[in-house]
């Protein structure tokens, strides 16, 4: 049995889902990096990170999701807030809808203060109780960017931290 508590998976922004706002692919501020750029506008944009790590149909095997990190930048001005929510999606059987629930998490940067400041950010979302991922479910980490008229946003990528057991 392999049990490694230090695994991580990079999730590029190209795998993420962006709703509301004008988002474009662009080069990052640092040469050689990539980013999704949101144009300035007063609105709330939602960025959803699909957590792409292995699951397992046997209990207590596969991946135990512990935390998710998102790298982004509030450019030009501070945002109003940046708030994370984690969704657990249990896939539906044929003919049935999926069921969503919301595991308890904490984010290390305060939504309307440190997370929204005009600067580059690495926000860490930690599950209160890490979860083993069943093959009939997946996780989506949603970040709501509440933006005023002046702020632009760059999203660079995410990392999921987990235990791998095989």
Partner 1 sequence: MIHNIHVSQYIPPTLFHIVSATAAITHAAGAVSGTIAVNRGAANETSVVTIPIMIPSNARALQGSKLVSIEVDFINGTAEFTSHTFVLNRVTRGADLGVAVVDAITKTDSVAATASHAVDEVKQVVTLTIPEWVDNDCYYLLEDTIVAGAGGGTCKFLGAVANFTLRL
The residues of the shown chain that bind partner 1, judged by CB under 8 A, are: 2, 4, 6-12, 14-15, 25-34, 52, 71, 109, 114, 117, 119-123, 156-157, 159, 161, 164, 166
Tell me 114's DSSP state: G
CB of residue 36 to partner 1, shortest distance in Å: 9
Smallest gap from Cβ 124 to partner 1, in A, equals 8
> Please, what is the minimum distance in Å from the beta carbon of residue 15 to partner 1?
6
- Of 3 and 91, nearer to partner 1 (C-beta) is 3
13-18: list long-range contacts, CB under 8 Å, 24+ apart: 13/155, 13/156, 13/157, 13/158, 15/49, 15/50, 15/52, 16/47, 16/48, 16/49, 16/50, 16/155, 16/158, 17/47, 17/48, 17/50, 18/45, 18/46, 18/47, 18/155
Q: Which is nearer to partner 1, 19 or 166 (CB)?
A: 166
- By beta-carbon proximity to partner 1, the closer residue of 10 and 92 is 10
CA distance 29 to 26: 9
Q: With respect to partner 1, which residue has the nearer C-beta, 147 or 164? A: 164
CB of residue 51 to partner 1, shortest distance in Å: 12
């Amino acid at each position: 049995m392999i049990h490694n508590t230090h695994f991580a998976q990079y999730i590029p922004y190209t795998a993420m889902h962006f709703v509301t706002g004008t988002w474009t692919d662009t080069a990052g501020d640092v040469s050689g990096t990539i980013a999704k750029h949101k144009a300035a506008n007063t609105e709330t944009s939602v960025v959803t990170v699909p957590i792409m790590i292995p699951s397992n149909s046997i209990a207590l095997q596969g991946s135990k999701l512990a935390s998710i990190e998102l790298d982004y930048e509030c450019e030009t001005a501070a945002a109003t807030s940046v708030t994370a929510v984690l969704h657990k999606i249990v896939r539906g059987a044929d003919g049935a809808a999926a069921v969503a629930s919301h595991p308890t998490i904490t984010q290390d940067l305060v939504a309307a203060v440190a997370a929204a400041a005009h600067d580059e950010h690495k926000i860490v979302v930690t599950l209160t109780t890490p979860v083993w991922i069943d093959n009939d479910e997946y996780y989506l980490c949603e970040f709501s960017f509440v933006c005023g008229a002046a702020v632009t946003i760059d999203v660079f990528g995410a990392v999921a931290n987990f235990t791998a057991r095989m």
